[in-house]
Amino acid sequence: MTSLNILITGASSGIGEALATHYAQQGHTLFLSGRNPERLDRVTRTCCKLGSTCNGQVIDVRDRKAMERWINNIQQANPLDLVIANAGISGGTGGESGNRDFGLDIEIFDTNLNGVLNTIHPALPTMIQAQKGQIAIISSIASLVPLPGAPAYSASKAAVRFYGEALAAKLKSSGISVSVICPGFIQSRMTQANDFPMPFIISASRAAQIISRGIECRKIRIDFPLPMVVAMKLVNLIPSAFRRDIFSQLPEKHSHKKPLP
């Protein structure tokens, strides 16, 4: 198997960590980022023990200049074959109905949308020049339906889904493939904050296997698990007024983290 240079953001936990471990076992060279130094160091050391050349960088994907410097430095010595824009945060309304935390909403959009742009665009010039490369963007099943319990999360993931699908068509002639991943509930630190039923939830390691297989096949959309995808698409067939009434009875998603000062 040919060794690839792979960059993964949000690699210190959840899907990002599972993907890093998965690709490390295959001997690829990894460039990982995260905001938590201790967790990122643990993941980096694990990947090195698995036989991968692994480099960790504590960085915030919202910092456009820092991301540009980091990725440009990588590209100069190790042109990237695959960039996985995975970093993201979750959150609900931040409190009781009518007490919406707009600071958290802004942070969610900044991380989930701008963080994706800050990750993929510094990598694209080298890929376009070489006429090869892959971009993978982690969206969510939540992008398929406007969820009132997590409006900012749902909308931000819908934005990156649309952006990624449009980018796939735009870059096709450049030899670059783009995959948009829409997972359902995954066992992770993010979903640990949920105190409501999470149907069809799967492990992060299983999600990494599905995602990597889809990326390898250069699929434009990687949606899973199938029962959850079908359920969400059926919900979209319900008239908006009835859907609103149904959704108003659902529990709100608790904030995964507090907004930064």
Domain ranges, ordered by start, for the chain: 5-247
Q: Per the omega criterion (within 30 degrees of 0), is the bond before 225 cis?
A: yes
Neighbouring-strand partners of residue 6: 30, 82
Query: Residue 54 in contact with residue 104, Cβ under 8 Å?
Result: no
Query: For every residue of 115-157, which 3-state class applies, written as one string?
Result: HHHHHHCCCHHHHHHHCCEEEEEECCHHHHCCCCCCHHHHHHH
* Predicted pLDDT of residue 97: 44
Tokens in use for 63? 């910092």
**Sign for the pseudo-dihedral over CA of 186, 23, 181, 64:** positive
E-only strand ranges, the chain: 5-8, 29-34, 54-58, 82-85, 133-138, 176-183, 221-224
CATH superfamily of 5-247: NAD(P)-binding Rossmann-like Domain (3.40.50.720)
Tokens in use for 159? 């934005």
60: phi > 0 → left, psi -120 to 50 → alpha, else beta; which? beta
What amino acid positions are annotated as catalytic residues? 153
Along the 261 residues of the chain, how does pLDDT read in single tens digits?
Answer: 689 999 999 999 999 999 999 999 999 999 999 999 999 999 999 999 999 999 999 999 999 999 999 999 999 999 999 999 999 998 654 434 445 568 889 999 999 999 999 999 999 999 999 999 999 999 999 999 887 778 899 999 999 999 999 999 999 999 999 999 999 988 866 655 555 566 778 899 999 999 999 999 999 999 999 988 898 888 878 877 766 666 666 555 554 443 333
* Predicted pLDDT of residue 92: 54
